[in-house]
Structure 1
Amino acid sequence: MDRYSFEDKLEALTTSVGFHFGALHKEIGDVKKLGISNNREIHRRRPPQPDLSGAQRVAKHAVLRFLNYESVEDGYRERYASKAAVAAGNTVTPGWAAELTAGDTADFLTEGSSPSLLARLLSIGLNLGTGWPLKIGFRSDHTPMGNWTVEADPAPVGALQLASFTPISRKVTGIAVISRELKKYSSPAIEAIISTFLRNDLNAIIDAALIDDQPSDAARPQGLLFGVSPTPPGADLAADLKALAAAVLAAGGTAPVFIVNPLTAIDLDFMAGQFSYPVLPSPYCPAGRIICLDSLSFAGSLGALEVQSSEEATVHLAAPASPIVDGGGVAASGVTSLWQTGRIGLSGLVDAAWGIAPNHVQFLDQA
Structure 2
Amino acid sequence: MTYTLERVARQATEAKELAVHTSRALRDLKRGTKSGLSGRDRFVRHAVLRALATGPGVTYEDVWRERYAERAATGPAMITTPNWATELAPVDVGEFLAEGTAPLALSRLAALGRSISLAGIGTLRIPYRPPLAEVGGWIAEGSPIPVDDLSVGTISLWPRKAAAVSVFSAELRKRAVTDIEALLDVALRADLASIIDGALVDDQPGSALRPPGLRYNVAAVAASTATDPLVAMRVDLQKLVGEIVAGGGSSPVFVVNPQQAISLAFVPSFSYPIVDTPAVPRGVVLAVDGPSFISGSGGAVVDASKDAVLHEDTTPLAIGTAGTPPTVAAPVRSLWQTDMLAVRAIIETAWAVPAGRSAWMEGVAW
The TM tier, using the shorter chain, reads 0.5 to 0.7
Say whether the 8 Å CA contact 1:195–1:348 is kept in structure 2: no
- 1:279 and 1:66 map into 2 onto residues whose CA distance is 23
Paired residue for 1:345? Answer: 342
Structure having the higher Rg: 1
Q: 1:284 aligns with which of 274, 279, 297?
A: 279
Q: 1:269 aligns with which of 265, 268, 274?
A: 265
Give how far 1:302 is off. Answer: 4.2
In the alignment, does 2:361 pair up with 1:364? yes
Number of residue pairs the alignment of both structures matches: 273
In the alignment, does 2:57 pair up with 1:67? no
Paired residue for 2:229? Answer: none
- 1:149 and 1:218 map into 2 onto residues whose CA distance is 50
Shift in CA distance, 119/327, structure 1 to aligned 2, threshold 3 Å: farther
Instruction: Classify the secondary structure of the residue corresponding to 2:321.
Output: coil
Give how far 1:217 is off. Answer: 3.0
Instruction: Classify the secondary structure of the residue corresponding to 2:178.
Output: coil
Q: Per-residue displacement from partner, 1:125-182 (whole Å, max 9, x unpaired)? A: 0112225321122223412332334455544333323211113422222223445445
Paired residue for 1:88? Answer: none
In the alignment, does 2:149 pair up with 1:156? no
Q: 1:207 aligns with which of 194, 197, 200?
A: 197
Could you tell me which runs of 5 or more consecutive residues in structure 2 were left unpaired when the two chains were aligned. Answer: 1-36, 56-99, 227-231
Paired residue for 2:91? Answer: none
RMSD: 3.4
Shift in CA distance, 343/296, structure 1 to aligned 2, threshold 3 Å: same
Give how far 1:364 is off. Answer: 1.6
Instruction: Classify the secondary structure of the residue corresponding to 1:363.
Output: strand
- 1:113 and 1:68 map into 2 onto residues whose CA distance is 17
Aligned letter for 1:357?
Answer: P
In the alignment, does 2:103 pair up with 1:118? no
- 1:68 and 1:173 map into 2 onto residues whose CA distance is 19
Q: 2:311 aligns with which of 316, 340, 352?
A: 316
In the alignment, does 2:143 pair up with 1:146? no
TM-score (norm 2): 0.64
Say whether the 8 Å CA contact 1:141–1:160 is kept in structure 2: no
Shift in CA distance, 344/125, structure 1 to aligned 2, threshold 3 Å: same
Could you tell me which runs of 5 or more consecutive residues in structure 1 were left unpaired when the two chains were aligned. Answer: 1-62, 84-111
Q: Point out 4+ residue stretches in structure 1 off by more than 6 angstroms.
A: 63-66, 78-81
Aligned letter for 1:228?
Answer: V
Mapping 1:208-247, distance limit 5 Å = 208-234=198-224, 235=226, 236-247=232-243
The percentage of counterpart residues that share the same residue type is: 33
Say whether the 8 Å CA contact 1:230–1:362 is kept in structure 2: yes
Instruction: Classify the secondary structure of the residue corresponding to 1:188.
Output: helix
Instruction: Classify the secondary structure of the residue corresponding to 2:117.
Output: coil
Shift in CA distance, 327/163, structure 1 to aligned 2, threshold 3 Å: farther
Shift in CA distance, 188/122, structure 1 to aligned 2, threshold 3 Å: same
Instruction: Classify the secondary structure of the residue corresponding to 1:209.
Output: helix
- 2:320 and 2:104 map into 1 onto residues whose CA distance is 36
- 2:190 and 2:299 map into 1 onto residues whose CA distance is 12
Paired residue for 1:109? Answer: none
Shift in CA distance, 179/197, structure 1 to aligned 2, threshold 3 Å: closer
Q: Per-residue displacement from partner, 1:164-208 (whole Å, max 9, x unpaired)? A: 111342222222344544533444365762453122221122112
Say whether the 8 Å CA contact 2:158–2:350 is kept in structure 1: yes
Say whether the 8 Å CA contact 1:171–1:219 is kept in structure 2: yes
Q: Per-residue displacement from partner, 1:30-69 (whole Å, max 9, x unpaired)? A: xxxxxxxxxxxxxxxxxxxxxxxxxxxxxxxxx9996359
Aligned letter for 1:173?
Answer: A
TM-score (norm 1): 0.64
